[in-house]
Structure 1
Amino acid sequence: MVMAKAARNTVGILGNVISFGLYLSPCPTFYKIIENKSVGEFKVDPYLATVLNCTFWLIYGLPFVHPDRILVLTINPIALMIELIYISIFFYYAPNQERKKVVYWLCGEVVFVAIVSLVFLLVFHDHKRRIIAFGIICDVFNIIMYSSPLTIMKKVICTKSVEYMPFYLSLANFLNGCVWTAYALIKLDIFILISNGLGVLSGAVQLILYGCYFKSTLRDEKVVDVKASQLQLSVSDGPATV
């Protein structure tokens, strides 16, 4: 029992480290935004989605919902802060129409989280039912985030080129899913297991596609670098996407 707990803590800490790396992966994209003083065709949608995801996983890890998920709780506040920094940079350099979109979405997310949390906490008075309620909604948003690369995978197959799929991001997503799946299996947490198991599958498919189409990709390093950085997403990860 003690060894299982120690193993779980070790895996959870490793998961936090990998998740932290994942959330820092879009830094080159935002560096380009700052350098160009323009958001160009860059989209903020994945980061708005990640804010919602991180917020629900943060609530899931709080003691009044789940009393034994400290490693879920530690990574998500950090992830949330990183995502808000990204969104702030986008907001500063975005045109007025995009700024309005950011404000509307963030306000909507705050209201949505507040209403859902209040209803769940008032209706469900014990840990078991709160875990199920918040776990389901966390899984829904996590699965949506893990499925977001599907459009990129379709593009890879159609173009027979991996220039739109950053290898290291795909690898990090796969490793992140593996670590958090292991964490969920050591002491079964079905909600962490479901979404991250799908994350492993998604990451594996991306890596297989990369291997299949790497040789057929035309090399134009400048174009590849710009396009790949624009497609970097903040996924889930860890309970931050757990």
Structure 2
Amino acid sequence: MATVADGHHPFAFTFGILGNLVSTMVYLAPVPTFYRIYRKKSTEGFHSVPYLVAMFSSMLWLYYATLKKNAMLLITINSFGSFAEMIYIVIFVVYAPKDARKLTVKLFGIMNVGLFTSIIVVSHFLVSRAYRVPVLGWINVAISTSVFAAPLSIVAQVIRTRSVEFMPFRLSFFLTLSAVMWFAYGLFLKDICVAIPNVLGFVLGLLQMLLYAMYRNRKQVIIEDHEKKLPAATPDHVKNLVIIATLAASEVHPVEAQPNNRNDDGDVNNNAAITEANEHEQTDDHRHVENASVEIQPNETPSAV
């Protein structure tokens, strides 16, 4: 049972259960995104890389947990995570355009099949049984740390643009809470390989929430600044910017650039139209005065009612 397998310390089981619940919500966060993809039959500007990386990390932790004793709660959450990410990737491949589909399949083969298989082979045949779990654990630490560090790009983007449009608070909150639960789980289980990456995850999560509190009310100002600074931006440019910024996030939010109707030619044409209208108005007034003067006879005075 899980209470026995993870029960060296009673708090280890408690935080492991809480970690499973919170991490399940994090894994389910992209569901609206893929429902949108299914409904529109198009992946639009979404990329598959975050889901490939998440699946690769879950697969490694699952393999680590099967080799390590007393880690049943790591097995449960990473089994669910691997399954969920696989579903996301399949949906993406079904509705992705040809180039994106080829890239996704290629990356899946290189990372989730080739590299993962290589790690299994090396750990089994080139590492002795006594060091197998620690070596695999530190491999997971390195990969998890890089995954946690990836949101630094979105942090830089938020500071540069002063907009939190592409850094959802709810996702940042649950990622931070998840890091707390798994850090405590690793601490009470005395597994440093589980605890260390979540220290960085907790710090970065707090930083993201702090930035959200600072810049949450400045979205409209930033949009206006972007319209002035990037009048010729195309939708592809904006999508690439957003995707890079949200590389490690569970949700990717592409945006479409609004057409810029206020160009120089338009202003000139508008000014010319206004001038022409004014000239017509003045001409009509002049004609009205002339007609009035013709109607009044020299010896007649218009009477007031």
Tell me, in whole angstroms, the C-alpha distance in 1 between the residues paired with 2:96 and 2:179. 33
Partner residue, 1:104: 106
Following TM superposition, by how much is the alpha carbon of 1:214 offset from its aligned partner in structure 2, in angstroms? 1.4
Partner residue, 2:88: 86
Following TM superposition, by how much is the alpha carbon of 1:216 offset from its aligned partner in structure 2, in angstroms? 2.0
Tell me, in whole angstroms, the C-alpha distance in 1 between the residues paired with 2:167 and 2:187. 30
Matched, 1:116 2:132: no
Which amino acid in the other structure matches residue 94 of structure 2? Y
Answer 1 or 2: higher relative contact order, Cα 8 Å, separation at least 6: 1
Partner residue, 1:154: 156
Following TM superposition, by how much is the alpha carbon of 1:56 offset from its aligned partner in structure 2, in angstroms? 0.5
| TM-score computed with the length of structure 1 as normaliser | 0.86
Identity %: 35
Matched, 1:40 2:44: yes
Following TM superposition, by how much is the alpha carbon of 1:4 offset from its aligned partner in structure 2, in angstroms? 6.0
Partner residue, 1:166: 168
Which amino acid in the other structure matches residue 233 of structure 1? A
Matched, 1:187 2:203: no
| TM-score computed with the length of structure 2 as normaliser | 0.69
Larger Rg: 2
Partner residue, 2:278: none
Tell me, in whole angstroms, the C-alpha distance in 1 between the residues paired with 2:26 and 2:38. 20
3-state SS, counterpart of residue 218 of structure 1 = helix
Aligned length: 224
Partner residue, 1:30: 34
Structure 2 residue corresponding to 1:233, chosen from 224, 249, 253: 249
8 A contact 1:143–1:195 mirrored in 2: yes
8 A contact 1:26–1:233 mirrored in 2: no
**Greater mean deviation of Cα atoms: 151-160 or 168-177:** 151-160
* Ranges in structure 1 where 5+ consecutive residues have no aligned partner: 220-226, 236-242
Structure 1 residue corresponding to 2:146, chosen from 144, 147, 154: 144
Which amino acid in the other structure matches residue 28 of structure 1? P
Following TM superposition, by how much is the alpha carbon of 1:10 offset from its aligned partner in structure 2, in angstroms? 1.0
Following TM superposition, by how much is the alpha carbon of 1:5 offset from its aligned partner in structure 2, in angstroms? 2.0
Following TM superposition, by how much is the alpha carbon of 1:73 offset from its aligned partner in structure 2, in angstroms? 0.9
Partner residue, 1:60: 64
Structure 1 residue corresponding to 2:208, chosen from 190, 206, 209: 206
Structure 2 residue corresponding to 1:73, chosen from 67, 72, 75: 75
Change (3 A) 1:4 1:114: closer
